[in-house]
Amino acid sequence: MSWIDVADLNDIPLPGARVVKTHFGDIGLFRTGEAQVFATSNACTQDGGPLSEGIVHGTRVACPIDNSVFDLETGALLGTGEGHLQTYPVRLDGTRVLLERESVLARGAA
């Protein structure tokens, strides 16, 4: 398994989010604890809103446009409605945030 270095942990607010731009679309990095980071597709499945601009609470994020709430661990839309975010394996190496390379590349093949 290979990893891509995408950010410094200290550049992600606690709690908060940042966006990583890729050739295959934006990926949201969400920091929910001192060393707890999740990565998902950045677009809300309901209206396309930028989730990295939403409010992070616990292991959930609320869309800044329509308030849809997603579980960052599973990508599931909570409450009513249908939708599921793509999630990406994340690893920390000191303060560096790494994404699993193959899952990012697989997004481009979909």
Non-local (6+) Cβ contacts of 110 within 8 A are: none
Which residue carries 């193959």 as its tokens? 102
Whether the model pTM is above 0.85: yes
Could you tell me the CATH superfamily of domain 3-109?
Rieske [2Fe-2S] iron-sulphur domain (2.102.10.10)
Tens of pLDDT along the chain (110 residues)?
A: 899 999 999 999 999 999 999 888 899 999 998 889 999 999 999 999 999 999 999 999 999 999 999 999 999 999 877 889 999 999 999 999 999 999 998 876 54
One-letter amino acid of 56: V
Domain boundaries of the chain, sorted by first residue = 3-109
